[in-house]
Structure 1
Amino acid sequence: MLRARWLLLFSIVTLLPGCAAVVVAGAATGAAVAHDRRTFGSIVDDQTIEMKAGSAIVGNSDLRGQTHVNITSVNGIVLLTGEATTLEARDQVLQTVREVNGVRRITNELRIAEPSPVGNRSKDALITSAVKSRFLVARHLDPTRFKVVTENNAVYLMGIVTRDEGDLAAEQAATIDGVERVVKIFEYLD
């Protein structure tokens, strides 16, 4: 009986740190959704657009090995970043995304090039993290209102913001080491 109690206590103690992480992650996600200017339905629609477009591209055998495509959607505005080895492959990606229900507009930033190496993608991920961190400490800037995407040292900012918020975010992103350009893809409230 004593052994069973110790085993139960040990199990509870070892599982608690995991619970804390789940609670913190859930709270952070809830806070981000609460501050997002999109409706909950629009957030779900954007995730659906990203998943359907991504699945259609990955499932297309003609594009396999010819593309590296990132799909980001905010309020039905889709950003395509990455590489396509030919104009035909790029055009096929664009056509595939256009056919996804809910896409209002596409910003095409696909480069005609070989798919980028993992090292470049890792550097881009570090830049994205640095931009998001800068947004956290910047005054008059709510980081939960922005999607940040980095591809080939270019930072793309998306969201539903005021012009002042958009300008401040772009200024902050431009100060990060390694950023070569900042592209604003906003829907403005004013």
Structure 2
Amino acid sequence: MNQKIHAKKISVIAMLLISTQLSGCFPAIVGGAAAGGAMAADRRSSGIYVEDENIELKTLKRISQYMDKSSHINVTSYNRIVLLTGEVPNAGQQAQAETLTREVANVRDIHNAITVGFTSSISDRSNDAYITTKVKARFLSENLFPANVVKVVTEAGLVYLMGIVSEKEANDAVEIARTTEGVSKVVKVFEYSK
């Protein structure tokens, strides 16, 4: 027992020492611990949770390598279903983003919600982040379902809802999101549990 406590102390000290040597990386370590907690409460298996993270990273890397720099594309993967949002200057790039995503291993399906038009401003993106926060806060306050089972993505006031949910949970989530100030439309990208 004493050896276990000693090993834990050494681990904590090592983590603290490493965090002081990696400027700006301590939040990543703490964020990683928080992600571990979120993963434990998620309906996806831990393997799929990690795979979704990998799909997002690999897709963003491919898009940054091959797409026009004037494009603004967000990639969200949930249970290997990828939601593409953002803006591109033309339909060819909209299709190219989907093609690049399809080439990433383990992607099951793609919902391409990228719009053709001007790139959103920082102010627009901040407003979308604020709407996402309000929707998530209402999920918590309404307490009709476990708030962590629905992923919320907002783009230009449109709220996309992803997750593995029952029909009732989906309906409750849509109603909460739909009645949140600033939301122009709700789009369901759910998978339904049996």
Shared fold per TM-score greater than 0.5: yes
TM-score by length of 1: 0.83
Code of the aligned partner of 2:42: D
Structure 2 match to 1:100: 104
Is 2:47 aligned against 1:68? no
Code of the aligned partner of 2:149: R
Task: List alignment gaps of at least 5 residues for structure 2.
Answer: 1-19, 21-26
| Deviation string, structure 1 residues 82-101 (Cα, Å, up to 9, x no partner) | 01110111111111001000
- Cα gap change, 1:44/1:30 in structure 2, threshold over 3 Å: closer, same or farther? closer
Is 2:62 aligned against 1:56? yes
Counterpart CA distance in 2 for 1:135 and 1:52 is: 30
Counterpart CA distance in 2 for 1:115 and 1:70 is: 12
- Cα gap change, 1:82/1:23 in structure 2, threshold over 3 Å: closer, same or farther? closer
Whether the aligned pair in 1 keeps the contact of 2:161 and 2:186 (CA below 8 Å) is: yes
Structure 1 match to 2:3: none
Structure 1 match to 2:113: 109
Q: Secondary structure at the match of 1:134?
A: helix
Q: 2:82 aligns with which of 78, 81, 84?
A: 78
TM-score by length of 2: 0.81
Structure 1 residue 23: Cα displacement: 10
Structure 1 residue 27: Cα displacement: 6.5
Whether the aligned pair in 1 keeps the contact of 2:40 and 2:46 (CA below 8 Å) is: no
Is 2:130 aligned against 1:121? no
Between 132-141 and 146-155, the greater mean CA deviation after superposition: 132-141
Task: List alignment gaps of at least 5 residues for structure 1.
Answer: 1-14, 16-20
Structure 1 residue 30: Cα displacement: 3.8
Counterpart CA distance in 2 for 1:77 and 1:25 is: 24
Q: Secondary structure at the match of 1:59?
A: helix
Is 2:39 aligned against 1:33? yes
Q: Provide the identity percentage.
A: 44
Structure 2 match to 1:88: 92
Structural mapping, 1:155-166, within 5 Å: 155-166=159-170
Structure 1 match to 2:48: 42
| Deviation string, structure 1 residues 100-143 (Cα, Å, up to 9, x no partner) | 00110000101010111111101000000000100111132111
- How many pairs does the alignment contain? 169
Q: 1:174 aligns with which of 178, 183, 190?
A: 178
Q: Secondary structure at the match of 1:80?
A: strand
Alignment RMSD? 1.9
Counterpart CA distance in 2 for 1:118 and 1:141 is: 32
Structure label with greater radius of gyration: 1
- Cα gap change, 1:63/1:22 in structure 2, threshold over 3 Å: closer, same or farther? closer
Counterpart CA distance in 2 for 1:137 and 1:27 is: 24
